[in-house]
Every structure is written in C-alpha cells, then in structure tokens.
A and B are shown apart, each in its own frame.
Chain A
Amino acid sequence: MFEPMDDLIERIARHLRRPVQIDPALDGRVMREISALPTPGGATALRKAWGWLRRPHQVTLTPLGGLAAAAVLAIVILLSRMGSTPPAPPLAESRAFQFVLVAPRATHVSLVGDFNDWDATRTPMLRTGREALWTVVVPLMPGRYHYAFFVDGSRWLADPSAPVARDEDYGEPSSVLTVGGGS
C-alpha cells in the first residue's frame, strides 16, 4: 500500500533537510580569492552604515513569522538531540522469509547478511525439533542480498538451498537471495 503523496513528499523533504557538511577548507579558498579584491562598498557604505546606526529599529514578528521561527527552533532542538541517524523506515511492504539450516552438532547459529549490516549478533537462529533444524524468519524488502550462516562463532556456511554468491571476495562462502517486488 503506497503512502499518500503528502507523507511521501514530507519524508523526502525531511531527508533532504538533513545537515550537510561542506569542507571547511572552502573558507580559506574564498578568503584567499577575495584578498586580491578591493574593499567592497567604500565611502558610500560608510555613510549608509552611519545612517543605519543613527536610525532606530524595531523587530516585530507576524503570526506567520512566529510560527516559522517556532518550527525552526523545533528543528534546532531535534538536530541537537540526534546521534547517529537511523535508516528511514521502508516505503514498500516487506515480506517474511524463513531461513533454515540443518546443523545437529551446532550450539549456536546466527544469520548474517546485507540485511543486518553483517552483524553476527543481530539475528540468532532458533533450534527446533529433534532434527536440529535452525530457523529464523526475517522480513525483507525487495532487493538482492548476500548472506551466510555463522555457526558456533567460528564457521561460515552457505545456504545449501540458495544460489552461491559468485562475487565472493573474502574466501568464505555466501549465498544470494533475490526478493522481487509484486509486478
């Protein structure tokens, strides 16, 4: 079920509003470039500045301006509280996939792959039945995933029921799972 346009646009905008860090060395490059330039403004600017200093000024806020300022302040508070930004929640619905491994002599098996940042602690599998089936159900978004089973903290096993990952770079077996979208 696709979310309404306003929610999607707001999600995109919120993502794009995240702070961007530009290389601070740019400041030095700008200053070096302007060092060769004449002072902008000159005497006319002096007269304007003197006139400005002598004139009284009053800052007032319209109701709309006040709302805008409050919104900006809320963003400041939110940004100051943010640590590492968690991934945005997925748009499309995920599908549940069950992973199964037969390993009667294993004492601990975990599922590790692209869907859990290859974190061996995140998705432990559960031993079921007397045949020593290890299983876990994982919701997956459409995509293509490399994964493997990590057995007893020391052995990597590919999934015998899945294609082998041919683009294996690390000398340990991995499998591939492709999750299609409905079309």
Chain B
Amino acid sequence: MNAYIEPGSPVARAERPGAGSTTDPTAGLAGNVGTPYTTPMSGQTERAAYLGMPGERPPRLGFFTDTSLCIGCKACEVACKEWNLVPADTGPTGGNPADLDEVRGMDLLGMSYDNSGALGASTWRHVAFIETEHRIDAAQQGDVRWLMSSNVCKHCTHAACLDVCPTGALMRTEFDTVYVQPDVCNGCGYCVPACPYGVIDIRPGDGRAFKCTLCYDRTKDGLTPACAQACPTESIQFGPLEELRERADRRLAQLHANGVPEARLYGRDPDDGVGGDGAFFLLLDEPEVYGLPPDPVVTTRDLPQMWRRAAVAAVGLAAAIAGSFLGRR
C-alpha cells in the first residue's frame, strides 16, 4: 500500500467528494452486473454512522465464489495485482523477482492454462484450471471436462494465521476479515505452516508475509474489492456474508434442480473446523480436486491440550533432573 497517488487512479477517485455514494459509478453495481447492491455501506458518512452508533458495527464482509460461473479469464488475478501493487509473480519456483533468468523462463507449468500454480505471497487470487474426464453424466462420460475456480484467502472465522502470529501483525478488521499489517510483520513465518489452506506465504526478497487483504483499503471506503469488481461473470460475488450465504443456498438449490447434483458449497458451514469461511465457494467436484483441503481444522483448536501436555512435560523434566540429584553421594 504505497503512499503516492496518481491523479485519476482508483485511489484518487475514491477520495473524490461523493466517492462511494450511491451515485458513484465505482460503488453499488460494482463487479456484479445486474445485482442491485453488493456493498454494505455506500459511503464514508454511512460508515461513520455505523461506527459512531453504540452497539452497531459493520456487517461481516466476504466473497462467494461461484465456480460454476467462472470462465477462467484471470481478470481477478490481474485486477488484484494491479490494485494492490503486488510484484511480479515469479511462479511456484518462488524465485526472487530480481533474478531475471527466472522471469524470462516464464515458469510455464504445463498445468492446463494455470501458470501461477497456487496462492502465495504475490498471488492473492489464483485461478485453477482442471482438465478431467466427465464422470457423472453418462452421456458425456469420457469427454473432457474443464473446471475453473478462482481461489482466495478464506478469511476464516477461526483463523490459525491470526492466532499464531506472535507480533499481532495479523489482525481482524471491523469487517471480520483477516489482514496483515505490513508495518508490524517481522517475517517470523509462523503463519505459513499454520494456515490449513496453504494461503499465506513469505515473499522472497521482502521477508514479510503477504496474502489477500479483502481489499481492506477499498472496503473501508465502501468499494468492492478489485477481484469482484473485475469479474465479468459474477463468479466472484462480494457483500455481507449473511446475504452471500442466502444467495449461495438459492444458487445451490437452483443447480440441483437443474440437474447438476455434483454442485456443493465449500466453507459455507459455520460449524466446520474453522468456524466457516468468510470467503466460501460453490464447487463442482471434491474440494481436493481444486487443491483445497476437504475438512480443514484450525490448528489452535487443539492448543489447550498441547499447552497442558507441554506443562506436564516441563514439570516432568524438572522432576527428572531433581530426581537424578537424589541418592548416594
């Protein structure tokens, strides 16, 4: 989030008087053609009203990514990079951007049309391309089937990365999203193996951890995140989580009624191992086919048990040492 602002840039537009209001073309319909509204608040005044009102707070914001609508255009990947000033993606070999040979090598992965491979410190939206054979529909059995899905940080209700962060750099925003404060992170790397989805990572050359911010700078101003704004098919939908969940339930029922029994919601359930995802998905196959864990659990769920075990072990060690000093001299 560098400070300089070019005239006419989205940042400058957002700071214009009236930006984010219902008449502002960058708000409201943003990223969701035909949807009456997606942003919970239309402008700064409303937001201030929310925050100033005792007992009131902004609603939880999130993404509903309906992969049945994804056409794999990668507009979300590009829009995310542009808005958030994310450096060049050097691909999953994770080379330093300074190493020009790696960039020239292009890191072509041979994985259908996917060359960014996975989410990472410099890939906050990742479009998966899956080429498989049709299995479900007998008429199409054996035909090639393409699945496309735009993956993103899940902004978990119980976020392991946030729990284990020793500096408090990872925090929860007023929109219940999970945000890394880049000026606090000291690059300890604990969040990296803690994430059950493998989202957050350390950026080589920088040393700090990065991931999707759910465009905190935009949502604060009542704007839609860049990826949802850029999505041409409404595959990425943004809004208050409660509303998205209702919308997802309707969509799932519609698909099931239309003969797509393989459709399922992923991360929708508030009772799952991470307390439900702030960014959840409609998938057309098992989660692991998309590179998602089928039943993720926040690691800190078991932490009380682990601390107890460590306390017993520490007392045991002290007792063993003391015991070894007993006896004949």
Q: Do A and B come from one complex?
A: no
